[in-house]
Chain A
């Protein structure tokens, strides 16, 4: 194996992991607050759609990113109201939100453009080469020649971690997910906190979707997220609900996918479809490996009821 292939693999891993990472960061905020983030697949799709369509119409990437956040938040608000106010079951509501997003994005893609999906000529987020650093051998292009959202995603891990571990708000959020009664007994409002956490999740997941449509693939197609949201959920579990660890989880899945993409060119006697299965199989294997040791927030999925 020569350097070029290795660099290509690493680069592809990072590229594929980026949207997963953004979604996972959002998902972990929602789950640490006690709401299952099964709906991130839908939020991601909404973000991908909103970002793509806005960028298409305005030809402005910033507006596109903004729109993706808003679209993600909207779906997050729906999930939040259903689960917090109406105490609907978290997992199935997330599933319903995913179906809704799928239908809505496909529908609007055609409906807003006179009945046929438009040709997607989108401005895309290009690579930003940091002067001098990006010319270093091997690490240069990988670490310092990535597009904007990639820098953003990986850099965001730090403030998210810091927020969760070192701020009062993060502490309260985690308390709501572990023991809402205890949080309530010291004056926190678990319902409000869960609602906000789900909407923040929507922002992150929406951005993850925008990364997919505006940076990685440069287009929007029906259902383009294709399960990435669920892979992000797996990454959260693998990372034991901790930001830095789930980052590695996303990279692992990204590497599996990158390997799958590249292996096809190597002429190995393994079918390309089997190779495409690997990210999912690896996710399943890791989940099994972790087994019961993965300890999720104690009150996740349980509605908080004021007596």
Chain B
């Protein structure tokens, strides 16, 4: 229509235009029919991935039915396994809800692992340095420190994108490696435990340990934080002007500009939020599970967060059940490995397949619901 349309194509871009959030999620509405559709999509994707994985189990000479049964039993079989699963879900949900919001705003943030790692470092440092403080001060301080560290870690690739046009995918990805190495660095230096056979920090003072939610179990209160985060993000996204702006930014460039919304500010805000949430996840891991900073504690968490966000169709509220699903999956997989001998790395196969199926389904549904 307009003569200037052809021009944009002639100029190069460094950061590619991520497709509108619609294309990753399909049309947006809290209507029952839409919720059911997305639930159906998630269930279908999971089922398909279980079916395909069954083939691999068969290839390895085991009986898939037995393996899956053991998986289920292992996940729900005992109080301990449930506690384990809930603990596992906590960092996934925390990081996942931040990633979901990022994706909603067409920001592909896969730096969860690095942000979790530095969040853990900061929380550990506070825990180790603040042994004079009482628990009800020390724990919140440590968690807060974790959130700031995570946010800072996300701010770096965000700045790179805003000032130099470096796409956040590569930026956050590379920062992951730096963050993980930073953990090792800290453990071999100021925070390391002398004489330990494994890179880890000294045990935290007991008042820094996250209290148990149900006494007598391993389940720590971190899950409460995760639930709070989901609730806050859900309400923030759907019921505040801030969330409205994110949704606008996630639609198209022109719609956001037309409504007078600043894409740059929205981008920065959601990156910082996601980083902070991941930082909290890191803090929760070291304070509630390991009670120390330990090398490799953040492994794989970042990608899990992305998988969970996708499974939840990028809906903050749905991140909770999606995260729980993966947590229980992991708990069950360990049992499955013990009992049947099927390697627990199967869950990554399931995770990867689920993501691919969800992405394919979302790719088609966008096609059908185009305006």
Q: Which residue of A lies closest to B166 (CB)?
A: A287
A304 to chain B, nearest CB (A): 12
A137 part of interface (Cβ distance < 8 Å): no
Contacts of B346 in A (CB 8 A): 103, 107
Contacts of B184 in A (CB 8 A): 273
Contacts of A280 in B (CB 8 A): 174-175, 177-178
Contact (Cβ within 8 A) A78 B356: yes
B360 to chain A, nearest CB (A): 4
A233 part of interface (Cβ distance < 8 Å): yes
Contacts of A283 in B (CB 8 A): 174
A230 to B110 alpha-carbon distance, docked (Å): 13
A129-160 near B? 1/0 per residue, CB < 8 Å: 00000000000000000000000000000000
The interface stretch among A56-64, A83-91, A185-193, A210-218 is A83-91
From A92, A100, A115, A302, contact of B353 by CB (8 A): A100
A102 part of interface (Cβ distance < 8 Å): yes
Q: Which residue of B lies closest to A301 (CB)?
A: B16
CB-contacts of A220-274 with B (<8 A): 222, 227, 230, 233-234, 237, 271-274
B141 part of interface (Cβ distance < 8 Å): no
A88 with B349, Cβ < 8 A, contacts A110-B343, A287-B160 known: no
A31-62 near B? 1/0 per residue, CB < 8 Å: 00000101000000000000000000000000
Contacts of A277 in B (CB 8 A): 177-178, 181-182
Q: What band does the interface of chain B fall in when counting residues whose beta carbon is under 8 Å from A?
A: 35 or more
Contacts of B310 in A (CB 8 A): 92, 96
A302 to B8 alpha-carbon distance, docked (Å): 14
Contact (Cβ within 8 A) B181 A237: no
Contacts of A82 in B (CB 8 A): 356, 359-360, 363
Contact (Cβ within 8 A) B177 A295: no
Contact (Cβ within 8 A) B188 A273: yes
A226 to chain B, nearest CB (A): 8
Main secondary structure of the interface of B (DSSP, over half): helix
Q: Which residue of B lies closest to A289 (CB)?
A: B164
Interface centre among B61, B175, B303, B343 (most CB of A within 10 A): B343
From A103, A284, A292, contact of B350 by CB (8 A): A103
A100 with B359, Cβ < 8 A, contacts A92-B306, A111-B59, A287-B160 known: no
CB-contacts of B141-186 with A (<8 A): 160, 164-166, 169-171, 173-178, 181-182, 184-185
Contact (Cβ within 8 A) A99 B59: no
B356-371 near A? 1/0 per residue, CB < 8 Å: 1001111110110000
From B17, B342, B356, B363, contact of A100 by CB (8 A): B356
A115 to B59 alpha-carbon distance, docked (Å): 12
A87-125 near B? 1/0 per residue, CB < 8 Å: 111011101111111111011111110110000000000
B305 to chain A, nearest CB (A): 11
B203 part of interface (Cβ distance < 8 Å): no
B23 part of interface (Cβ distance < 8 Å): yes
A147 to B68 alpha-carbon distance, docked (Å): 45
Contact (Cβ within 8 A) B349 A100: yes
A86 with B360, Cβ < 8 A, contacts A91-B169, A99-B355, A292-B164 known: yes
A294 part of interface (Cβ distance < 8 Å): yes
A6 part of interface (Cβ distance < 8 Å): no
Contact (Cβ within 8 A) B349 A296: no
From A87, A107, A234, contact of B349 by CB (8 A): A107
CB-contacts of B319-371 with A (<8 A): 341-343, 345-353, 355-356, 359-364, 366-367
Contacts of B366 in A (CB 8 A): 87
- Total chain A interface residues with beta-carbon distance under 8 A: 60
From B17, B60, B356, contact of A111 by CB (8 A): B60
A220 to chain B, nearest CB (A): 14
A107 with B60, Cβ < 8 A, contacts A92-B306, A287-B160, A296-B12 known: yes
A273 with B182, Cβ < 8 A, contacts A86-B359, A292-B14 known: yes
A183 part of interface (Cβ distance < 8 Å): no
Contact (Cβ within 8 A) B165 A292: yes
Contacts of A295 in B (CB 8 A): 12-14
Contacts of B160 in A (CB 8 A): 284, 287-288
Contact (Cβ within 8 A) A102 B348: yes
Contact (Cβ within 8 A) B185 A274: yes
B348 to chain A, nearest CB (A): 3
A298 part of interface (Cβ distance < 8 Å): yes
Contacts of A287 in B (CB 8 A): 160, 164, 166, 170-171
A281 part of interface (Cβ distance < 8 Å): yes
A180-205 near B? 1/0 per residue, CB < 8 Å: 00000000000000000000000000
Top 5 A-B pairs ranked by shortest CB distance?
A103-B348, A100-B352, A111-B60, A295-B12, A96-B355
- Beyond A112-B60, A296-B16, list 19 extra A-B contacts (CB 8 Å): A88-B359, A89-B18, A89-B363, A92-B359, A95-B303, A95-B355, A98-B303, A99-B348, A100-B356, A103-B349, A106-B343, A107-B343, A111-B342, A287-B160, A287-B164, A291-B164, A292-B14, A301-B18, A303-B19
